[in-house]
Every structure is written in C-alpha cells, then in structure tokens.
Structure 1
C-alpha cells in the first residue's frame, strides 16, 4: 500500500499542501483532479522526492524511495540530437519487455532525432521508457495532453496493463472523461488538500464541479 499522511509543503513561507492524506492499494488507479494552482504538481514532486516536505509517504510500510517511482511529467525534456531509438536504449537492462508492439502502435520514427517529434510523439516516447523502468508506483501528469485519438486509446490499454501488474497508478488530467475511463477513484485536490474522494459510482457528480 502507498500511504500519504499529513503531507505538507511550503515555499517561501507559503503553504502549498496542507496535510494531504491518501491511501492507495496495489493495483489501483487514482485520478487527481484540481484547477491550476491546487497543488497537483507539488504532490507529484513530493512523491518523486523532488521537493522537501513534512509528513510521511510510505510504500509497503517503509519510507517511499525515489527508486520505486516512475514519473511521466507534463513536459518531457530530451536532448535534441538523440534519436528515439537511442533514448530507449538508456532503459535497456531494465524490464525485459517487447516494446515493438507499443512503438508500432504509436507509429514512432525511432531513427529520427527527437527534436523533430511532435509534442504528442515525445509524450509517447517518454511513456515507453517509463514502462521499461517497471516501477511499482507510476505517476502520469497530464499524459493525454497532445496525444491523438488513437494514442489516447493505446494509453487506456497501457494503464489497464499497469493495473493488471498490480502497480499503483496516479493520473492527473484536465480532460475529465479520461479519468472516468481509467480510474478506480478520483481525488479532488483543492487549496492544497484532498477535498473529497469519489468512487466509480459517484463519478457523475464530478460533472457539476467547476475547475
């Protein structure tokens, strides 16, 4: 289980997270929904040990380590003169999976320099690298941004695969329908706190919220 207890983050005497509490079982998919400035990225950075925080974040009863987390950020940085193939080679020796299926479905030109990729293609490339890392906790920050219709449905399949492998998946998205389609629960983050958790049979109530 991934447990977040009394998570607080402060920048320049301004509190961003005010005691976030969240418990996630293995094999669960939770969506994080909130308007800009609600603290979503700060929450993800805390889980990834990218920012100082107070409180406790534990995985299977021990302090969560960065080595247990895979983080797909909203914007992914790539060296301009690296090919997609070279980028993925950095992940070799990690999970032994056949990525051919994903690269073919995503139709990525792996021999080309990444600087010529569209934003959606870069997102797909980063996602394949993330899968190869094979971490138990996976954070997807706006994974559907810039991805075409076909890519969205492949993403659905990948998220389902992560769930079937008993991994924890945490997703943020401004496209609320994508959360409805993928998540077991959705947490509404407001003013640095989890305001409410919604189960699947309550998702329709989220349509009335304004973000």
Structure 2
C-alpha cells in the first residue's frame, strides 16, 4: 500500500499542499481531480521525491524511494538530436511486454529525430519508455493531452494492464470522462487538501462539481 500522511509543501512562504492524507492499494487506479493551480503537479513531484516536503510517504511500510516510481510528466524533454529508437534504448526491457507492438500501434517513426515528432507522438514515446522502467508506482500527469483518438484507447489498454499487474496508477486529467473510464477512485484536490475520495459508484456526483 502507498500511504501519504500530512503531506505539506510550501513555496515562498505560501502553502500549496496543506496536509494531504491518501492511501492507495496495489492494483488500483486513482484519479486526481482539481482546478489549475490546485497542487496536482506538486503532489506528483513530492511522490517522485523531486521537491522538499514535510509529512510522510510510505510504500509497503517503508519510506518511499524514487526508484519505485515512474513519472510521465505533462511536458517531456528530449535531446534534440536523438531518434525514438535511441531514446528507448536507454530503458531496460520489461518481461512479458512486446514493445514493438506498442510502437506499431502508436505508429511512431522510431528512426526519425524526436525533435520532428508532434506533441502527441512525444507523449507516446515517453509513455513507452516509462513502461519499460517497470515500476510499482506509475504517475501519469495529463497523459491524454495531445494524444489522438486511437492513442487514447491504447492508453486505456495500458492502464488496464498495469492494474492487472497489481501496480498503482495515479492519473490527473482535465478530461473528466477519461478518469471515469480508467479509475477505480477519484480524489478531489481543493485548497491544498484532498476534500473527498469518490468510489466508482459515486462518480456521477462529480458531474455537479466545477473544475
């Protein structure tokens, strides 16, 4: 289980996260829903151990280490003169997954320089690299941004696969329908705190909230 207790983050004497409490079981997909500036990315950066925070984050009763987390950021940086094939070569292969199948489905020109990829193609390439890391905790920050219709459905399949492997998946998306389709629970982040965690049978209530 991933357990977050009293997570607080402060920037320039202003508290962004004011005491996040959240527990996530293995094999669960949880969505994080909130307005722009609510602190979603700050929460993800804390889980990825890339910023300072107070409070505790435990994974399987031990302090969470960055080595247990893979993080697909909203915007991904690539060196300008690197091909898709060269980028993926930096990642170790994952047993049981045919990545050639994924690259074919995503229709990625792996021999071309990534600087000529569209934003959606870069997102797909980064996603494949993230999967190759084979981590127990997977953070997807706005993974559907810039991805075409076919890519969205491939993403759905990938998320289902991660769930079936008993991995934790944490997703943010401004497209609430994608969260409804993929998540077991959705946590609403407001005013620096988790206001409520909605179970699947409560998702309809989220349509009445404004984000």
The TM-score normalised by the length of structure 1 is 0.98
Give the match for residue 52 of structure 2.
52
Partner of 1:25: 25
SS for the counterpart of 2:195 is strand
1:95: Cα distance to partner?
2.1
Give 1:31 shift: 0.1
What is the aligned partner in structure 1 of residue 124 from structure 2? 124
Question: Residue 191 of structure 1: CA displacement?
Answer: 1.1
User: What's the secondary structure of 1:202's corresponding residue?
Assistant: helix
Q: C-alpha separation between the residues in 2 aligned to 1:139 and 1:55?
A: 20
In 2, Cα distance between equivalents of 1:62 and 1:75: 30
> 3-state SS of the aligned residue for 1:46?
helix
Superposition map of 1:128-139 within 5 A: 128-139=128-139
Aligned-residue CA RMSD (Å): 0.6
* Equivalent residues in 2 for 1:82-97, closer than 5 Å: 82-92=82-92, 94-96=93-95, 97=97
Gaps in structure 1 of 5+ consecutive residues: none
Tell me, what secondary structure is at the counterpart of 2:79?
coil
Q: Does 1:181 align with 2:173?
A: no
Aligned-partner Cα distance in 1 for 2:98–2:157: 15
1:106 alignment partner in structure 2: 106
Residue 34 of structure 1 is matched in structure 2 by 34
Q: Distance in 1 between matches of 2:6 and 2:110?
A: 44
Which residue of structure 1 aligns with residue 196 of structure 2? 196
Q: CA shift at 1:114, angstroms? A: 0.2
In 2: Cα distance, 1:137 partner to 1:28 partner: 10
CA distance in structure 1 between the partners assigned to 2:200 and 2:15 by the alignment: 31
Counterpart for residue 69 of structure 2: 69
Distance 2:6 2:117 in 1: 41
Q: Figure out how many residues of one structure are paired with residues of the other and give that number.
A: 210
SS at match of 2:30: strand
Q: Output the TM-score relative to the length of structure 2.
A: 0.98
Does residue 149 in structure 1 map to residue 149 in structure 2? yes
1:79 is aligned to 2:79: yes
Render the CA deviation track for 1:58-100: whole Å, top value 9, x for unaligned. Answer: 00000000000000000000001100000000003x4233201
Give the Cα separation in 2 of the matches to 1:208 and 1:4.
27
| Residue deviations 1:15-52 (CA, integer Å, cap 9, x gap) | 00010000000000000000011000000000000100
